[in-house]
Amino acid sequence: MSVRTFSDYADQVFIPYVVSQMLDLVWDSYRTDSLKCVTHAKRSSCIRRQVTASGPVPRNWQDFLHVDMNKSELFLFLSEHLMKVQSFGDKLVVATGGTSAVISNATCNIFRVDPCT
């Protein structure tokens, strides 16, 4: 298996694992105005990398995940990619993308969880 891009990672690693396990996924959020985020940004020497479908996966995931914006974009990308999957059967999948909720079944009402804060 050759995982070169974020799209490859989502299709070949992340989604097959989630579908096989039917996990509850909870993403963390990274507020730019938080003290933790400001302090972490000052200490970090890691490089910011934009997460796109054709973008290359990082060679060093640990360094990549030290940058809060990298994690935020990755979580959003994976949530959106996950909602494109058609193999959930009768399972209802709800994921977050920033402060919005996305759902695998368009007939369900998500007004109680959207927006998520």
With 80 as the cut, is the pLDDT of residue 56 above it? Answer: yes
Quote the percentage of the chain above a pLDDT of 70: 58
112 pLDDT exceeds 70?
A: no
Higher-confidence residue: 35 or 64? Answer: 64
Give the per-residue pLDDT at 7: 95
Is the whole-model pTM more than 0.85? no
Q: How far apart are CA 37 and CA 30, in angstroms?
A: 7
Q: What is the pLDDT of residues 8-17, one digit of tens each?
A: 999 999 988 8
Distance CA 71, CA 26 (A): 13
What SS3 class is residue 80?
helix
* Amino acid 44: pLDDT: 60
pLDDT tens sequence across 59-81: 988 888 888 888 889 988 998 88
Phi-psi region of 22 (alpha: psi -120 to 50; beta: other; left: phi over 0): left
**Among positive and negative, which fits the CA dihedral 62, 68, 70, 74?**
positive
Of 30-34, 77-81, 91-95, highest mean pLDDT: 77-81
The confidence score (pLDDT) of residue 5 equals: 96
Taking the domains of the chain in order of start, what are their residue ranges? 6-103
